[in-house]
Amino acid sequence: MKKSIGAKSLIFPTPTWVLCTYDESGKPNAMTAAWAGICCSKPPCVSVSLRQATYSYAAVQARKAFTLCVPSESQVVEADYFGLVSGRNVDKFAATSLTASPALSVDAPYIEEFPLVLECRLKEQLDLGLHTLFVGEILDVRADVDVLGENGLPEIDKVKPIVYAAQMSSYHGIGACLGPAFELGKERL
């Protein structure tokens, strides 16, 4: 039996990504974003929802670009910090000693120390209420060589991404592999 808990922004898991932009003066900025995910395969696109009150909101609109950086479990402190303070008041890169590197495909920085980066050009935006959904077309994915597998793609066990549990306000790692996708269900065919 299920119990109604009401209309809530609740789903497992949500990513812990760090969105990077340049502000109007060209200073790199970063913010933690959890309301995000892949939204299209062709062209490859990702969506991220921001409140208009965030410092990054205007920068995404002005530059028409952003990066989404995927921190590893060992970078959870830095990822959380990026969501605690505003770039209006603090140089987050100086405070964390992380490196803002210029993306090659878009007018946005990325965090050099984070293992995986999506370089995105703003494709669409949709005002939803408190948040605006930004859709970014992924122009390039950059990954640290040490997180790549034999097939040349990032492996989840090497990236060790962080997930966020909104209802508990907590971060979690990824669990063990349960089996191959598009294979496990074949026993029901």
Tokens of 1: 């039996």
The pLDDT of residue 13 is 86
pLDDT for 111 equals: 98
CA 129 to centroid of chain Cα atoms: 21
Residue 11's pLDDT is 85
What pLDDT is recorded for position 59? 96
Q: What is the pLDDT of residue 65?
A: 98
Please report the pLDDT score of residue 108 as a whole number.
Answer: 98
pTM of the predicted model as reported, rounded to 2 decimal places: 0.95
Write out the E strands in the chain.
14-15, 17-22, 28-33, 36-40, 45-51, 65-70, 100-102, 109-111, 116-127, 131-143, 163-165, 170-172
Could you read off the pLDDT tens digit of each residue along the chain, which spans 189 residues? 999 989 988 888 899 999 999 999 999 999 999 999 999 999 999 999 999 999 999 999 999 999 999 999 999 999 999 999 999 999 999 999 999 999 999 999 999 999 999 999 999 999 999 999 999 999 999 999 999 999 999 999 999 999 999 888 999 999 999 999 999 999 899
Q: Burial of 54 by CB count in 10 Å (0-12 exposed, 13-18 middle, 19+ buried)?
A: buried
Q: Which helix (H) or strand (E) is 63 found in, with range?
A: helix 55-63
